[in-house]
Structure 1
Amino acid sequence: MGELVDRVDEQDRVLGVVDRGEAIKHHWLHRVATIVCRDEEGRVLVHRRAADMSRFPGQYNFMIGGGAEAGESYEEAAARELTEELGVRAPVQFAFKYLCRGEISPYWLGVHDAVISTDITPDPDEISWHAWVTEDELREMARRPTFVADSVEALDRYLT
């Protein structure tokens, strides 16, 4: 069995524990925690997903993150993902969540903020390229077809 996640309902209440692959396959709602990373100058981290990722390979995104493990809060998942994907620890602050209908499958998306004040060491299995960009540069990048479609709505919500 793969990654275990909480299957949740339309109100984000836990229904049970399922394999994340099965949740995606059957379009069962589950939780995903993400982090918008900024540097001390306020720039946003943008990255390109590794080419062999199972979801959105080689596409660009402004959020770091992944599935919240069974029993894990959004904040706990965000902090774990930050360490796993960027090799850093930093306080994460919950910003908002919403029911994302998703290109591949629907899920509850919890978005967090973190200020990164140290060098990052991206996991090459997850991230093939990264850069710190201004919000204007980020808006421009998000208009390109190589940007993860699910994150475009999240960006609109995040910047308003």
Structure 2
Amino acid sequence: MRDIVNTDDEVIGQAEKGEIEEKGLISRVAFVMLHNGRGELLLHQRAATKRAYPLYWSGAAAGHVDAGESYEEAAHRELREELGIETKCRQVGKFYSEADREMVGVFLGSYDGPIKIEEAEVARVEHFSLERLSQEREAMQVTSFVDRSLPMVAEALKVTQDSA
């Protein structure tokens, strides 16, 4: 069961996944970007078997927010499920994706340790500097979430690096 929200991110009800898709309702998603000690972003290529965006590059982890769950709780749950990790992360922004009918909370965390990918969800992971990502972006298939979140993440990274 997921919370249904309006475009102001106010909860207006709950529904199951099938009903949300069938009726075009708006649900919430937590989208997590991780950077390492060198400031490189960890992106994952979605599994070929994924219904939405197969083999597209996405953030470190992402997933729907369950009914009554906060964006932050969902972000941490997705990091555990998809990468097998625990790390602090903070929300750096939020946007509404009309195309996906989702309100997306964007999180940024720091992580340098080992990861264990969930093969049903993730084909591979790779680190990208912002410079490399800028150079290779046009040749890559990336989710709209990556495109929409990068300005927020880049600004938060700049602030983090300036204060270090």
TM-score of the superposed pair, with normalisation by structure 1:
0.89
Residue from 22, 26, 36 that aligns with 2:23: 26
Amino acid in the other structure paired with 1:75: E
Partner of 2:159 in structure 1? none
Partner of 2:106 in structure 1? 111
Partner of 1:86 in structure 2? 83
Q: Which runs of 5+ in 1 are unaligned?
A: none
Partner of 2:162 in structure 1? none
- CA–CA distance in 2 between the matches of 1:61 and 1:18? 26
- CA–CA distance in 2 between the matches of 1:143 and 1:101? 22
What is the CA deviation profile of residues 3-25 of structure 1, one whole-angstrom value per residue up to 9, with x for unaligned ones?
x2100112111111111233233
Partner of 1:76 in structure 2? 73
Which structure has greater helix proportion? 2
Partner of 1:7 in structure 2? 4
Deviating 4+ runs (over 3 angstroms): none
Partner of 2:95 in structure 1? 98
Q: Which runs of 5+ in 2 are unaligned?
A: 156-164
Q: Secondary structure at the match of 1:147?
A: coil
1:48-63 matches, cutoff 5 A: 48-63=45-60
Query: CA RMSD for the aligned pairs?
Result: 1.6
- CA–CA distance in 2 between the matches of 1:122 and 1:98? 27
Residue 136 in structure 1 maps to residue 131 in structure 2: yes
> Contact between 1:92 and 1:112, CA under 8 Å: does it hold in 2?
yes
Q: Secondary structure at the match of 2:139?
A: coil
> Contact between 1:141 and 1:147, CA under 8 Å: does it hold in 2?
no
1:34-45 matches, cutoff 5 A: 34-45=31-42
Task: Choose 56-65 or 36-45, whichever is displaced more.
Answer: 56-65
